A and B are shown apart, each in its own frame.
Chain A
Amino acid sequence: MLHLKPENLLVQKTLTEAWNANESGTPLTLDRVISDFDYTTLHLSNSPENKAVLWLSIKTKAWQSVLKCGEGFLEHLESKYSAFPGIAPVGPEQGYDYTLTVDLGQLQPDAIVQLSLLKIHVMSFAFQLAFHEFSKLSQQTQDPASFSGSNDTGIVRQLQYRDDENIFVKPSNDRITVIFETFFQDETDKVFGKVFLQEFVDARKRNRSIQSAPQVLFSHEPPLEAASLMSARKADKNRRFITFVLFPRHFQTPELQFSTVCHLVLFRNYFHYHIKCSKAFMHSRMRYRVDSFIKVLNRAKLDETDDGEQTRRTITGRKLVY
């Protein structure tokens, strides 16, 4: 079973190699393009002046929409790395959205993991804002004097993480609703996807042991939370909406928040990976079937008459074909 890790293995490997090479006194010359899910490209290169200083740039589809989510996005990213010496933001490299300089001389090994999480940190901003708002709203509810009667602020944040697909995040006073809008390019994927999603929805109903998991809803119609943002765009029959309802227990501590964000951000990739896995399983079943049919067909073949003059054999008993 594949467990997609939130960190980018390749960034991690490349940085570790660069760090080791730098420790042994021979810094690597690097100019690598690395990709991540959902139109994300990372670029790792030496800074123009110093080989021991690396530039890590990121370009991601979601950048623009994350920027629109609220104030303080760059500060949020900076705060993730300010604890580690040797990592500092600089003006973005040409063609990329954000660039960090990494001084290999000062880099600590545990900072490498954080650097490989750059994409998650970018996406996490929208969720972080929602967590903040949730705590504000829930305090208001407990304090009747300031309670306005409404249990949300009406703000729905939209993360456009692929060309045609969005994530909507809506905090309210007792929950955070996360809606994925997905779209299948392929007919077969659509069928597999439906089975999977239905299974997601039903699993929680059937099993008591996973009652603490977030509630999942699946629909063809845009849910009401996202409807206001959807109405502006054309309705498409191929769209599916998956709603996760997060309760406070899913984001009580920073660790929980982090793992929740990771799971949500990787949800689509994980989902698509498993669609591919099921197809591979189907394919292997089909190959197996074809093999067994061929065996049956071969049984119907007549044995070739083995007369000594026409077939010549090698010393090991194989027939010579000529």
Chain B
Amino acid sequence: MKFFQRFFASGTLFIWLAGGALACSLLLIGGLLALIFINGMGYFWPKDLVQLTLKDDTRVLGEIVDTQRIPETISADFPDGQSRIQLKVGNRDVYGLDFRWVDETDIAQRSWPKDVIAFERREWGNFYGWVTAVWDGDTPLAEGRDIAWSDWYPFLEQTESIHREIHHIEHDVIGAINADMERARLNLKVLESKGEIPQDSADILEREIQQREAAYQEQIERLVGLYERLNRYRVTLVDVTGEEKTFPVGGLVKAWRPNAMTVPDKMLMYVENFWNVLTEEPREANTEGGIFPAIFGTVMMVLVMSVVVVPFGVLAAVYLKEYARQGLLTRMIRIAVNNLAGVPSIVFGVFGLGFFVYAVGGTIDQLLFSASLPNPTFGTGGMLWASLTLALMTVPVVIVATEEGLSAVPREYREGSLGLGATKFESLMRVVLPCAMPGILTGLILAVSRATGEVAPLMLTGVVKLAPALPVDGQFPFLHLDRKFMHLGFHIYDVGFQSPNVEAAKPMVYVTTLVLVLVVLLLNMTAIALRTRMRKRYAGASV
């Protein structure tokens, strides 16, 4: 009895409890990160292609994706049960599905043919098989199963530059022409709406529009030429069942022979794949290609939000802490601010839609962009409204952190400054705020963390699954805050749950999740590094 009393009083149990709680949290976080990391990073590894010969003599070729135990097969003969393996067989245009389950008991033979080639295609996913013929137009350049890599691969390499040129023309050149044409049309419309049109200026505009149209046609012709060049060389591919398919080389992205690659080769390709995902635009309903627009949209939205939320929150906190008379009212405001931080984000989304998009954006359109109505400019979701909505959502965090930062500035600094003849404002600007900077940055870190991962309010205020253009480009005024944008969080939702080919999208979900986590980490690390520098500068602030 006494022993137990002593035991409880000593707090040993409590220490174990506390330590256990910490260990549990760490375990959960570690598990989460490990899952995302392993699944996300595994995506880029060029896996070997296995060729299975089944007992009924059909042949299957693909990457092994998963192995599962079949629960109902546990019997006396198989105490562990039997397994089935999931293969990514690709060739969606041939088989209809990219994935196939095979029971291990059905497998007669496995082999890893060295010469099998994996193709990444612009459409229909991967193709696994062999090249049997190469065509220049309709004349065959080479035929047979023993075609050398060098007979056709150079054509594939050439297409890259053609694709780049096409992309440049489609996005930049034609984009600029369209922007100019739109502007001229709007000017014309404005003139028309005023009633009397000075004939000469209308003529000038008309002529301008015609010029642009001519330029547009010229570009289209260039594009046609480029596409012809893309489609000039074709390859005939054959899959493991002997089915043949002929493609233009321009429809392929890249080709590799996984079973013949050495580990260093694979590592190189791994890095290359990773880089491509980070820098390329998505294809195939976002399940293939890269996620660059989503990364860009996420980072830019957070930056715009930070630019708004920091001054706003800091000013509010300064007034509340330094100037407002402390009393019932300030106490109530503080409670309200703290509660605001707990409001569900979708509520902010609804507010953002109702207030920013429809009320503010609609008014801006009426006043400044009335020529292009009924097409909305700011009266629809966009980068600006999404950022402002998130800024509103995170401003309580910044206010609270700034207030704490201000409270932490020693009274001696304020008095020392005032004692030298500084006004309250001068003390604030020159001594107090610089010293409160680490606190302000803590607020920013919290705000950024929360905003980066937020999806719900964005869905109402400007995120789309595929944005036609980035919010920053070469067309005046370069920064297009009215544009809709892509976001990693929404991308996860879209790819994972809205995609027609969920199985193929699974790795992409993990990759996107991983990148989202990395972006949060990167943004936070930047802010933390900044804060550490500030802290160092004001080290010993509390002598």
Tell me if chain B binds chain A. Answer: no
Q: List residues of A whose CB falls within 8 A of some B CB.
A: none
Q: List residues of B whose CB falls within 8 A of some A CB.
A: none
